Amino acid sequence: MQQLITVPLLLLLLQGSVQLRHLEVEASNDGPSPCQAPLQWEGRWVVYDHGTGRNNRAAVSYDGQNYRLRVLQQHKKHTPCQRYFEFIYLYASKLMFQIDQKTGECAKIELPEAWDPFDIPDNSTFEDQYIIGGPGDNVEVQEWSDRKPARKHETWVGVYTLRDCYPVQETYIKNSSVTTSTRFFNLQLGISDPNVFTPPPSCQAARPHAMATSHC
């Protein structure tokens, strides 16, 4: 005998079907979630200052666990007046040490800004996913930003590898103009020498002001 479905039961079934489809649509519109960037790595970067038009190349040790950063500027033969420094940023102590690579002279400066990790914040907006390079020699990356519907322009854009979430490039924008662009490369997981975050003995008698970047 054929079973009859009452009107109330039919309405409940239809309502459940609509709710299920609504949840499926929501899940498909969520998009990818930000990956978790490594907390400790070493490598190199090039920071391009759009205001001065200069590239700053350096070896970098990054310790996100202890809020520490060490930047060792790389020498350029075609800039004879340029001074080259080692920078040690200790954000837990709110201190930065600037050490002249040639003379060992040291400056100890209070850090006014808070720690800003190289990662993708949880509230970031997914922008795009694409491949850098070509067939047989490429890496897949995701692009994120701090763009929000209530704000027309983003102030930060980060590109991170899809597989291991290494930083590839970060760009900062102020007043609709790019201020700095940082490219990361040759990254290795972990810190090979934790002592790079320890200021040298010359910093015991450090000056309280930053040193000039040029002799000329």
CATH number of the CATH domain containing 171: 2.50.20.30
Would residue 53 count as lying in a domain? yes
Amino acid, res. 34: P
Q: Tens of pLDDT along 83-115?
A: 899 999 999 999 999 999 999 999 999 999 999
Give the percent of the chain with pLDDT over 90. 69
Would residue 15 count as lying in a domain? no
pLDDT at 1 over 50: no
Q: Which domain holds residue 177?
A: 40-205
pLDDT at 18 over 60: no
Would residue 24 count as lying in a domain? no
Q: Which of 104-113, 140-149, 159-168, 169-178 has the lowest mean pLDDT?
A: 169-178
* 94 conformational bin, left if phi > 0, alpha if psi -120 to 50, beta if neither: left
What are residue 156's DSSP bridge partners?
172
* Residue 67 or residue 149, greater confidence: 67
Model confidence at 64, pLDDT cuts 50, 70, 90, reads: very high
Look at residue 176 in the predicted model and tell me its pLDDT: 74
**Phi and psi dihedrals of 80, rounded to 5?**
-65, -25
| Spatial separation of the C-alpha atoms in residues 216 and 210, rounded to whole Å | 16
Look at residue 174 in the predicted model and tell me its pLDDT: 84
User: Are 160 and 141 in contact, with CB atoms under 8 Å apart?
Assistant: yes
Q: Tens of pLDDT along 22-52?
A: 434 343 356 799 999 999 999 999 999 998 8
Would residue 129 count as lying in a domain? yes
pLDDT at 119 over 60: yes
pLDDT at 3 over 60: no
Structural domains of the chain, count: 1
Would residue 99 count as lying in a domain? yes
Would residue 67 count as lying in a domain? yes
Would residue 147 count as lying in a domain? yes
Task: Write down the pTM of the prediction.
Answer: 0.81
Q: Which of 207, 185, 1 is nearest to 98 (CA)?
A: 207
Would residue 154 count as lying in a domain? yes
Q: Rounded to whole angstroms, what are the CA distances from 207 to 26, 69, 85, 89, 211?
A: 57, 20, 15, 16, 9
pLDDT at 192 over 90: yes
